[in-house]
């Protein structure tokens, strides 16, 4: 299983042709306490960089972008019920949605953990 990171502070866990998407520690730190999430519709197809979900905090609202072309296969209903999971466990139980990648190579350009850590440190 591979994890990639986007410049928009999302992570994608890749397992075959399924990607699981969430926000990074850096993103949840910047947002503050998450109070609401608007998750995508299962079965809907998105193009790369389309806003697929929204995360709202006490400070701001932000889009969660589709990292690659694909179809949403599952959403995290637990996150809908308890949006604070995006703060308490952003890389685990706080995932947003899963999607079937149209072309897994679309994710090759994203950062690995080492590159993302350096990128996020510069973003402060």
Count of domains forming the chain: 1
The number of residues in the chain equals: 124
Assess if residue 42 is contained within a domain: yes
CA distances 87 to 27, 38, 94, Å, are 9, 15, 7
Rounded Cα–Cα distance for residues 65 and 68 (Å) = 9
Residue ranges of the chain with per-residue pLDDT less than 70: 124
Assess if residue 122 is contained within a domain: no
CA distances 30 to 26, 40, 109, Å, are 6, 22, 24
Assess if residue 75 is contained within a domain: yes
Residue 81, domain extent: 2-102+111-117
Residue 124 has a pLDDT of: 62
Q: 76 near 83, Cβ under 8 Å?
A: no
Assess if residue 71 is contained within a domain: yes
**Predicted TM-score of the model (pTM):** 0.95
Residue 1 has a pLDDT of: 76
Rounded Cα–Cα distance for residues 41 and 122 (Å) = 34
Residue 112 has a pLDDT of: 96
Assess if residue 19 is contained within a domain: yes
Write the pLDDT tens digit of every residue in 39-54: 999 999 999 999 999 9
Specify the CATH number for the domain of residue 60: 2.40.50.100
Residue 123 has a pLDDT of: 75
Residue 104 has a pLDDT of: 86
């Amino acid at each position: 299983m591979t994890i990639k990171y986007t410049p928009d502070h999302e992570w994608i866990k890749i397992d075959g042709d399924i990607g699981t998407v969430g926000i990074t520690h850096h993103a949840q730190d910047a947002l503050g306490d998450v109070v609401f999430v608007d998750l995508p519709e299962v079965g809907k197809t998105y193009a790369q960089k389309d806003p697929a979900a929204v995360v709202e905090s006490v400070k701001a609202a932000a889009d969660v972008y589709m990292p690659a072309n694909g179809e949403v296969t599952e959403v995290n209903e637990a996150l809908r019920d308890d949006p604070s999971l995006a703060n308490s466990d952003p890389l685990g139980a706080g995932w947003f949605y899963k999607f079937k990648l149209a072309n897994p190579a679309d994710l090759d350009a994203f950062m690995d953990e080492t590159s993302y850590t350096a990128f996020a440190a510069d973003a402060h």
